[in-house]
Amino acid sequence: EYNLIGKDLGLSPKVAFDYSEKLIAPYINVSKPKVAILREQGVNGQKEMAMAFYRAGFEVYDVHMQDLLAGNVDLLQFQGMAACGGFSFGDVLGAGTGWANSILFHPKIKQQFSDYFADNSKFTLGVCNGCQMLSQLKDIIPGAKHWPQFLKNTSEQFEARFSSIKITESSSIFFTGMQGAQIPVAIAHGEGRAVFADDNTRQKSVISAQYVDNNGQITQNYPLNPNGSQDAVAAVANNLGNVMIMMPHPERVFRTVQMSYYPKKWQDNSDNSGNSPWMRMFYNARKFVG
């Protein structure tokens, strides 16, 4: 890390799209689609996630796994679902594993998730612990068999940083129109290293975002790549793009005031209501459901 300081340019965001564009304007006077903000014991990122989707024009619902297990809530009533970050079951069984098993080993709940994922008109976003959990459901998510698993960081430390990622060309509905952007984002995880089963799945993977250095180059150098992910993977989508998982936390930086650094011109843009470029992905989700 110290060896990189002398030649490091510092954070160098690059955004070519108009992030102040009012993508949701056509939907202001129509009914709000419902999104489930999904959490489990130990998850702690639900409030930021809920606010991001609320600002994008959704009717947000706090859905705990116990609500599903008790039969009080049915996932199929929602147009979208976001699995949030945190430490479900204290990561005791491995990050996201206990949460995933509470779905996979409960036949009724597993079927409910399978039915939800089978509907291509619905979207799913998994962030951090939600990413780790959903990666273990890939066998019931259409077009996700190529997803990696997420293992302990190469540093063997919990990494909490402000890292740069670049949005790639992919099928992801969340990143529509954002391709090529290089944007800093919060990361906070101990098991975020994406590892593919083999070269075949690696080649088929729909990589949607990658860690980059401050020259915009994909990097394996620590700490610019904070976890050592293969191909610097920060986000992957399913083939159709309506399901995406990512280790970084865009919901923690959807407003500029949440960011530890941002270009002054982002603050001076009076048309964006204080939004950072990350708000675009939540607007994209709203546009997707129509």
Marked catalytic residue, from 40, 84, 131, 249: 249
Give the pLDDT confidence of 19-72 residue by residue, as tens digits. 888 899 999 889 999 999 999 999 999 999 999 999 999 999 999 999 999 999
pLDDT over 70 at 272, yes or no: no
268 vs 104, more confident: 104
pLDDT at 50: 99
Please provide residue 136's backbone torsions phi and psi, each rounded to the nearest 5 degrees.
-90, 0
Marked catalytic residue, from 128, 131, 159, 191: 128
Is 131 tagged catalytic? no
Is 249 tagged catalytic? yes
Give the mean pLDDT of 201-226.
96
pLDDT over 70 at 250, yes or no: yes
Domain positions in the chain are 2-289
Give the mean pLDDT of 103-131.
99
Is 48 tagged catalytic? no
pLDDT at 269: 64
Give the mean pLDDT of 115-132.
99
Marked catalytic residue, from 40, 159, 191, 251: 251
268 vs 150, more confident: 150
The CATH number of the structural domain formed by 2-289 is 3.40.50.880
